[in-house]
Amino acid sequence: MFKFLALATGASAALQIHPATLTAFEAFQTKFGKSYATDEEYAKRLQVFAKNIAMANEQNEQSILAGGEAVHGITKFMDMTTAEFATQYLNYQAPTGNVTRVVPTFDGPLATTVDWVAKGATTAVKDQGQCGSCWAFSAVDAIESYGFLSGKYGLIKLSTQQVTSCDKVDQGCNGGNTETAYQYVVGAGGIETDASYPYTSGTGVTGTCKFAASNIKVTIKGYTSVATGEANLKTALNAGPVSVCLAATAFQTYTSGILSSCPGFIDHCVQAVGYDDAFTTPYWTVRNSWGTSWGEKGFIRIKAGSNLCKISNDMTYPTF
């Protein structure tokens, strides 16, 4: 411990690390089970942690100035640089070629609030681990939900591993998009359950394809790309929880509350599961794939009204 403190002191000389930051770093290690193989790695991660604390404080200031609340703090990603975080967790790759986007319709008035989680149309929050397979999780989550809403299937946890390992157009842990993920499922003839083909890529390894056609549980006909714009997202959400790909660099330090500042470009895919227009600050509710220890038990609320995080730029759902 004395050696670590000495190294920490040396690192803090340049960064002016406050003793409270060191205490917070040790608590962070305990909470998230973090350990480092060498003194040098410990000192490096302490420096990164301190920089991320400063970034979170700046983000909170920006949020408050924008009329929001403090929503950033210590997450399990605080010992990662922004580049490391992006490389490991934000691996969306835009689809190539022209994408035909459809303006959604809904029979009847749009609801003031929508919550597909409360309606029982989503499986439990998942964790992609140290693999850039968000695109596969987003697509599979949507297949689970729309399969259930179609009336053809129960709410079944399906195999994200099959899509991660077997979709050769996308690149497994190195990224992809939902459009080609749906296309893969159509071409494969369907998708297995998570029970028959469980997720193993959380260690960061895409893995070889072990798909068995005899284990197919759910089939889809195709997918629909939704026309851009929050009005279209709202309409689509009245029919089901939509897959969305958005800008998520601000997610690294998100802890709770309504996100009101969100820079960057589209780099991550998730599932939009509802909205609330009646709240003081209208917001979208998004289900992530980083486990329940992140955000609001795996969810994030994003301020509605200005296409924050580019939330309505790339929206899809499967068809049955």
Residue 41: the pLDDT is 96
28/122 same-domain check: no
CA 19 – CA 82 distance, rounded (Å) = 24
> What pLDDT was estimated at residue 4?
42
- Do 109 and 9 lie in one domain? The reply is no
Q: What is the mean pLDDT of residues 289-295?
A: 97
Does residue 186 share a domain with residue 267? yes
Q: Are residues 282 and 172 in the same domain?
A: yes
**Catalytic one among 91, 177, 232, 268?**
268
Amino acid sitting at position 2: F
- What number is the average pLDDT over the span 79-85? 96
Q: Quick check: 86 pLDDT over 70?
A: yes
For the segment 6-50, what is each residue's pLDDT rounded down to a tens digit? 444 444 445 677 899 999 999 999 999 999 999 999 999 999 999
65 pLDDT band, cuts 50/70/90, is: confident
Tens-digit pLDDT profile for residues 233-268: 999 999 999 999 999 999 999 999 999 999 999 999
**Residue 304 lies inside a defined structural domain of this protein:** yes
- Predicted pLDDT of residue 64: 85
Question: Does the active-site annotation cover 134?
Answer: yes
Exactly one of 52, 131, 134, 269 is catalytic; which is it? Answer: 134
pLDDT at 3 over 60: no
User: Does some domain include residue 212?
Assistant: yes
Same domain, 133 and 33: no
Question: Is 60 exceeded by the pLDDT of residue 70?
Answer: yes
Q: Is 228 within the bounds of a domain?
A: yes
Note whether 92 and 158 are same-domain residues: yes
pLDDT of residue 63: 82
Which of 67, 101, 124 is the C-terminal boundary of a domain? 67
- What domain range is 28 assigned to? 2-67
Q: What are 267-283's pLDDT values in tens digits?
A: 999 999 999 999 999 99
Is pTM beyond 0.75? Reply is yes
DSSP label of 287: E
Residue 211 buriedness (CB in 10 A; 0-12 / 13-18 / 19+): buried
User: Domain total for the chain?
Assistant: 2
Q: Are residues 115 and 250 in the same domain?
A: yes
* 184 and 276 fall within a common domain: yes
Which candidate in 60, 91, 232, 288 is catalytic? 288
Tokens matching residue 16: 């002016």
Provide the CB-side half-sphere exposure for 310 (13 A, CA). 15
Phi, psi torsion values for 7, nearest 5 degrees:
-65, -40
Please indicate, yes or no, if residue 90 is contained in any of the structural domains.
Answer: yes
Do the domain assignments include residue 202? yes
248 assigned to some structural domain:
yes
Q: Say if residues 212 and 192 touch (Cβ distance below 8 Å).
A: yes
Instruction: Please write the tens of the pLDDT for every residue from 45-56.
Output: 999 999 999 999
How confident is residue 176, by pLDDT bands cut at 50, 70 and 90?
very high
286 and 299 in contact (C-beta within 8 Å)?
yes
**Same-domain pairing of 99 and 211:** yes
Please check whether residues 135 and 95 belong to one and the same domain: yes
Q: Are 36 and 139 in a shared domain?
A: no
Both 103 and 184 in a single domain? yes
The 10s digit of each residue's pLDDT in 116-131 is: 999 999 999 999 999 9
User: Is residue 170 in a domain?
Assistant: yes
User: How many whole angstroms separate alpha carbon 53 and alpha carbon 281?
Assistant: 26
Structural domain includes residue 57: yes
Q: What is the CATH number of the domain that holds 159?
A: 3.90.70.10
166 is an active site residue: no
Q: How many CB atoms lie within 10 A of CB 220?
A: 21
For residue 72, indicate whether it is catalytic: no
